[in-house]
Amino acid sequence: MDEQELRSLFSAAPPDAPPPAFTRDDVVRESRRQTVRRRNRLTAGLGAVVLVVAGFGVYGVVSGGTPGLLTAAKDNATQSDAGPVQPGESPMRPEVGGGSPNFSSQVPQQGGPGEGKTGQLAEGASGCEQVDGELATALAGELPGHFDTTRAVPGGACSTVSRSAGFPVPGGEVAAAVYPKGIPEVFKSQPAGTVTARVATASGGVLVLVSVPSAGAAAPYAGQVETFAHRLAPQF
């Protein structure tokens, strides 16, 4: 290899490496900087935890009770130990056999003023102490003239098993009673001159209509009693 070839090889060789952009002191300083940053983050996190715990303590002292989160956890633990709460134990649920602030202990009855007493009119009432409101309304619609259902009476055709209603009329009284299916029509004896009509009802029972005269008078609407009964029976 001659001198010319050697010169060519040396000229083609890469130049020397450039000097480094940082020194060892730079590396040491950056390492220290990162360490300080990590230490500051840890200190800040611990400080936040301390503040939260201190805040709960101050709240407990001021309010005179346990912090909400701790109280909820305690309540949950107590309920778990005591077992599941039954629906009937709710304070808003009326107790069986006892009083409740949300419900009246008295059962309202039909026809009454809402004070636990049964009034004169009661829908579907049976017996001779109550007037059946539905029957009284129907009978008032059939009789000539105007009749106030609040003045209705059980009437002479009533019995312990029938729905009854009647009205005093000039010269006596007109009354009706509806007996359920299969129940015989048994009522008190009527004075002389009483006109009686019996017609089957739509439900299979019997409607009895009586026109009871006053003393020394003829039975009111005597010629229309049968007609009244046939008009009333399909309604029951």
Residues facing residue 173 across a β-bridge: 168, 212
Least confident range of 48-57, 74-83, 155-164, 206-215: 74-83
CA angle 185, 186, 189 (to 5 degrees): 125
Query: Residues 141, 230: one domain?
Result: yes
Do the domain assignments include residue 15?
A: no
- CA 169 vs CA 28, 146, 152, 196, 220: distances in Å: 123, 11, 11, 16, 7
Give 60: exposed, middle or buried? Use CB within 10 Å, 0-12, 13-18, 19+: middle
More confident call, 183 vs 40:
183
For residue 136, give the H/E element and its range. helix 133-142
Quick check: pTM over 0.75? no
Give 30: exposed, middle or buried? Use CB within 10 Å, 0-12, 13-18, 19+: exposed
Query: Residues 225, 132: one domain?
Result: yes
- CA 218 vs CA 170, 174, 229: distances in Å: 10, 12, 19
Do the domain assignments include residue 91?
A: no
Query: Residues 137, 228: one domain?
Result: yes
Do the domain assignments include residue 105?
A: no
Do the domain assignments include residue 72?
A: yes
Query: Residues 47, 127: one domain?
Result: no
Least confident range of 10-19, 50-59, 96-105, 118-127: 96-105
Residue 100, Cα to own-chain centre: how many angstroms? 15
Query: Residues 74, 135: one domain?
Result: no
Do the domain assignments include residue 131?
A: yes
Q: What percent of the chain has pLDDT over 70?
A: 57
Query: Residues 164, 225: one domain?
Result: yes
Give the CA count within 13 Å in the CB-facing half-sphere of 41: 5
Query: Residues 68, 131: one domain?
Result: no
Query: Residues 224, 135: one domain?
Result: yes
Indicate the DSSP class of residue 222.
G
When pLDDT is cut at 50, 70 and 90, the band that residue 124 belongs to is low
Query: Residues 135, 220: one domain?
Result: yes
Closest by CA position to 172, among listed 133, 126, 225, 127: 225
Asked if residue 142 has pLDDT above 60, the reply is: yes
Domain count, the chain: 2
Query: Residues 150, 217: one domain?
Result: yes
Per residue in 93-123, pLDDT (tens digit) is 333 333 333 333 333 333 333 333 233 566 6
**Residue 64 structural domain:** 22-78
Residue 49, Cα to own-chain centre: how many angstroms? 48
Per residue in 156-208, pLDDT (tens digit) is 889 999 999 999 999 999 999 999 999 988 888 889 999 999 999 999 999 99
Query: Residues 228, 131: one domain?
Result: yes
